[in-house]
Amino acid sequence: MTVRPIRIYGDPVLRTPADPVTAFDATLREIVRDLEDTVREPGRAGVAGPQIGVSLRVFSYNVGGEVGHMINPVLSDFEGEQEDEEGCLSLPGLGYSTKRSMSVTASGFDQHGEPLVIRGTEFLARALQHETDHLDGRLYIDTLTGDVRRQALRELRRVVPRR
């Protein structure tokens, strides 16, 4: 079991779009195992490759006791809207009300290259969107606007040490 350390805001890997996975090999399966071990830690709902320093389009999730992963996800079928507090392991101690779609379909592959489709609603939809954003070099604070965004950035400068 390998629980990897989480990269914190300011690490360039978090702002760089991840590369598509092209080899479904033993190295990828080891990354998936590490992601799933890392997301099993208490209080974690998702971990993306960049958050453990791996710039590949792969993430794990842990929602409702179900742990899984997806490789090269593409989101579609966005429906409805939800707004709830969202946090991020790479932005420790922060949480802000964030709008997301109420339901979404994620299409991609499992660690063996087999097609995988996950239809998520509510919290799973939020997790799928949040983790896919990580793979695109985006953080949830990028979706915030106005005074809430300014407050989040001020708080971020206060709680995250400068590199």
**Is 131 part of the annotated catalytic residue set?**
yes
Catalytically annotated residue among 41, 81, 86, 131: 131
Structure tokens at 1: 């079991």
Is 112 a known ligand-binding residue? no
109, 129, 106, 8 alpha-carbon torsion, rounded to 10°:
0
Maximum Cα interatomic distance, the chain, rounded to a whole number of Å:
46
Buried b vs exposed e over 72-96: b needs ≥16 C-beta within 10 Å? bbebeeeeeeeeeebbbbbbeebeb
Tokens representing 149 are 């965004």
Q: How far apart are CA 134 and CA 27, in angstroms?
A: 21
Q: Which residues line the annotated binding site?
A: 88, 130, 134
Q: Which residues are catalytic?
A: 131
Q: Which residues line the annotated binding site for Fe cation?
A: 88, 130, 134
